[in-house]
Amino acid sequence: MATASVQAPNQERQRTVQGHTILLVDDSPTQVKRLQHLLSAEGYRVLVSRDAGEALAGMDVTQPDLVISDVVMPGMDGFELCRRIRDLKEASQLPVILLTHLNDPTHVLRSLEAGANYFISKPYHNGILLSRVAAALRREGGCCVAAQDGTVSCNYYGNRYAIAASKSQIIDLLLATYELAVEKNQEISKTQDALRRLNEELETRVAKRTAELRNTISELRQEIADRESAEECVRRLNRLHSVLSETSKAVVHIKDRKSLFHDFCRIAVDHGCFKLAWVGLLDKAGTMVQVAAARGSTAYLNGITITLDQEPTGSGPTASAIKNGSFYICNDFLNAANTAPWHERGREYGIRASASIALQQEGRVIGALTLYADKKNYFDRPQVELLRQMGADISFALGNMERDDRRLAVERALLQETSRRLQEREQHAQKIEYLAHYDPVTKLPNRFSLMARLAHSLELAKRCSNRLALIFIDLDRFKNINDSLGHHVGDQLLFQVAGRLLESIRSADIVARLGGDEFVVGLPLIRSNVSAAHAIGKIQHALCQSYYVEGHELSVTPSIGISIFPDDGETVQELMKNADLAMYHAKAGGRNNFQFFTQEMNQTVQERLVLEGDLRVAIERGEFLLHYQPQVEMSTGRVVGVEALLRWQHPVHGLVAPDRFIPVAEETGMIVAIGELALKAACRQLASWLAEGLPPIRVSVNLSARQFRQDNLPAVLLDILRETGIGSHLLELEITESSAMDNPAEAILHLQGFREMGVELAIDDFGTGYSSLSYLKLFPVHRLKIDRSFVKDIDTDTDDAEIAAATIALAHTLGKEVVAEGVETEAQCRFLQGQRCDIVQGYYFSRPLPPEELVPYLRNTPVPSPLTRA
């Protein structure tokens, strides 16, 4: 076979499409559509005929350049059409391509027989079909051309083949090839059929499975819905139980209607999850429902009107429940006709269903409880049951409350009556009690009460070894006032006397009226008989002032008798009797005076009062003077100081020793003025000695406890130092150990202040008190003065000797000097010297001397022998 060159199919087609018309003959619209689309896209004009006869009849009109026809068609088939075209005069050369299925090899033979130019098996390849179309339009006899020498030249996709085989060989080969192709095609068809069947089966299965899945899904959906509904049901039931349990509790413990309604609404909303719950009560006229309590979306109720008339506002759920005395359920709130007046606000607040239950109190409908839910059809049977139960609970509680109220009212009335009677009885009893213990005229305790109180005070006095003074007071000539001005004036006078007595005494004291014009005052806790005398002085003074009663100026004087426990009696009766006796003595002695029960006591107290009076005068007149006792330094025998000791030059009694008047001055407070006088006098004296040319010595001045505590003492001291001009180091202040230890912390502060002024300090009477060592070391003093009671027997009593020795050692350890006072003998002096005592003072060296004698003493007296030897 000869080889032929073939042009590229695309270029080849390009040349042939211009102006060519192709007639498609096929009864299958699908095949036509596909081919038409393929050929039009290549630029061919495509005509279509569904029927071979019709195509043949219109051939002279359509004048196609090429016919492509299906083989199997109703009526005329493709072979017949091809045969008839070949019989046409003008179109006998018209190229015809037949499309056949590769399922029957006879189709090839019949195509050749009918004169078809090409046959193309279905399904065809687009490229092959277009290439055949182009070849047919160029009127080529296919890819094969018969040569002159009888061979066939075949141009197959650019390669030329020269085939010398005979036609029969070629047709045999064609048939063999076709058979093979048919066989393959049949296999493919079978495979396709099998595939289709499998596909169909698969589709059936998928459809079945899909249907099954759809069923399952819908079942699952149903199950979920069922479960959700069951869960919602459980939730609601739980809420119901919670509501019921809470309402039961509320019914038990709530005692008033307001709280009950509020609590039920609260429980419904908080535990029942209702949107809103409210209690409406009928007004007095029974025509309107008024909100009594609400919880939840309470704004829904703002300005709401619910009536019980025939108006639309009178036929809603609440009104209906009240009217029928039962309950009313509205499960479609927004669409129900009778809720029309509230549709708008219902929509605004998300209300979809409501339920109301009438509230009854002892069989009378008083209002309704209404609950709102945010779901349509919310109120099912259990909810309604809940509502009914809540209504029943409220009604039950209201009934109880009413009964309780009635019972309480009765009880209250009874209680009030009982309490009034009790009060009356108590007031009566108090009055009796008062009259039993108090005097109605003066309001003071009476005799009975007095005896009881005195017994108690006496008991305490005995237990604490205290004294107790009993003062009997009788008003002089009171009888005259009573007789002349009447009892009512006398009573008022007695009342005023009682007031003055109360003002004159301390709170712990006792005042009572015995009867008539007799009063008794009891003074527990008195320190001395003199203290009693002072109290009496105050009483006398108070009672002697004028009284004003009903326009009369009256004056009375008291006659007073005093008895003192333990001196004048051991019992209250004894003390009363003796005070009474003393009072008679006072009256007998000329009235307006007082008498102690015993004569000695009278004398002592009188003397004491005289002394106090004299002391006052002495301060005014300056009757005090100072004596000075030298203080000798043991190491040198030199007089290093003097102690200023106070004396009182009494105009009658001569020189009075301080022991006699200083305690009185202390008690009365006069010591402050006296002490200041002494301080000034001592400093002035020293200034005068210094001025006379005496060598500087220290002057010691005693400070009393009261003086030491005086806040202005530092200022007084500064004034004196400034006035006298003496160096502060030349002044020594002596405070007793007991006044330092009375309040050690305060004492330290005071001493510190003096020390800062440069004044020297000494603790006097050391050893007689109870100095705490811890405080002692904190006291900023320069010296300790061993009390003379320890010095007295220092050379004979080992205890005293040891105390003195220990005191000296202790003082030295603390960096302080020691002054021994009351040194009377050489032996005492030697002992103290042996113990390294720093300074000595006593009669052995000199008695306290008046200032004029001290100067010669200082100038002329030799150093005593023990000290010279030292």
Ligand X SMILES: Nc1nc2c(ncn2[C@@H]2O[C@H](COP(=O)(O)O[C@H]3[C@@H](O)[C@H](n4cnc5c(=O)[nH]c(N)nc54)O[C@@H]3COP(=O)(O)O)[C@@H](O)[C@H]2O)c(=O)[nH]1
Q: Does 675 bind ligand X (CB under 6 A)?
A: yes
Q: Would you say 321 or 674 has its CB closer to ligand X? A: 674
Q: Does 765 bind ligand X (CB under 6 A)?
A: yes
Return the residue of 339, 383, 395, 702 that touches ligand X, per CB under 6 A: 702
Q: Does 753 bind ligand X (CB under 6 A)?
A: no
| DSSP result, 48-93 | EES-HHHHHHTHHHH--SEEEEESS-SSS-HHHHHHHHHHSSTTTT
Spatial separation of the C-alpha atoms in residues 133 and 43, rounded to whole Å: 12
Three-state SS annotation for 674-736? HHHHHHHHHHHHHHHHHHHCCCCCEEEEEECHHHHHCCCHHHHHHHHHHHHCCCHHHEEEEEE
Please choose, out of 146-154, 273-281, 739-747, 840-848, the segment that lies near ligand X by the rule CB under 6 A.
840-848
User: Least distance (Å) from ligand X to the CB of residue 678?
Assistant: 4
| Binding-residue total with ligand X (CB under 6 A) | 22
Which residue type sits at 539?
I
Q: Does 824 bind ligand X (CB under 6 A)?
A: yes
Spatial separation of the C-alpha atoms in residues 253 and 693, rounded to whole Å: 103
Q: Would you say 185 or 704 has its CB closer to ligand X? A: 704
DSSP reduced 3-state for 544: helix
Q: Does 614 bind ligand X (CB under 6 A)?
A: no
Please, which of residues 776-815 interact with ligand X by CB under 6 A? 788
Q: Does 704 bind ligand X (CB under 6 A)?
A: yes
Return the residue of 16, 504, 629, 739 that touches ligand X, per CB under 6 A: 629
Return the residue of 354, 821, 840, 858 that touches ligand X, per CB under 6 A: 821
Q: Would you say 101 or 616 has its CB closer to ligand X? A: 616
User: Least distance (Å) from ligand X to the CB of residue 749?
Assistant: 21
CA distances (Å), origin 121, targets 56, 101, 132, 694: 23, 5, 12, 169
Please, which of residues 496-555 interact with ligand X by CB under 6 A? none
Neighbours of 229 (CB within 10 A): 10
Contact 566, 467 (CB under 8 A): yes
Q: Would you say 26 or 676 has its CB closer to ligand X? A: 676
Q: Would you say 367 or 767 has its CB closer to ligand X? A: 767
223-262 mask for ligand X (x: CB under 6 A)?
----------------------------------------
Return the residue of 842, 854, 858, 867 that touches ligand X, per CB under 6 A: 842
Q: Does 767 bind ligand X (CB under 6 A)?
A: no
Return the residue of 312, 658, 714, 744 that touches ligand X, per CB under 6 A: 658
User: Least distance (Å) from ligand X to the CB of residue 673?
Assistant: 12
Please tell me the total number of residues recorded for the chain in this structure.
870
Q: Does 822 bind ligand X (CB under 6 A)?
A: yes
Return the residue of 149, 553, 659, 692 that touches ligand X, per CB under 6 A: 659
Return the residue of 580, 764, 800, 838 that touches ligand X, per CB under 6 A: 764
Please choose, out of 211-219, 560-568, 569-577, 842-850, the segment that lies near ligand X by the rule CB under 6 A.
842-850
Please choose, out of 75-83, 291-299, 656-664, 859-867, the segment that lies near ligand X by the rule CB under 6 A.
656-664
CA distances (Å), origin 391, targets 321, 359, 378, 379, 757: 11, 6, 18, 15, 93
| DSSP result, 233-286 | HHHHHHHHHHHHHHHHHHHHH--SHHHHHHHHHHHHHHTT--SEEEEEEE-TTS
Spatial separation of the C-alpha atoms in residues 825 and 795, rounded to whole Å: 9
* Contacts made by residues 504-511, CB under 8 angstroms, sequence distance 24+: 504/535, 504/538, 504/539, 504/541, 504/542, 505/535, 505/539, 509/535, 510/445, 510/450, 510/453, 510/454, 510/457, 511/444, 511/445
Contact 670, 648 (CB under 8 A): no
Please choose, out of 83-91, 187-195, 319-327, 658-666, the segment that lies near ligand X by the rule CB under 6 A.
658-666
631-650 mask for ligand X (x: CB under 6 A)?
------------x-xx----
Three-state SS annotation for 140-169? CCCCEEECCCCCEEEEECCEEEEECCCHHH
User: Least distance (Å) from ligand X to the CB of residue 764?
Assistant: 5
Residues forming the site for ligand X (CB under 6 A): 629, 643, 645-646, 657-659, 662, 675, 678, 702, 704, 764-765, 788, 821-824, 842-843, 848
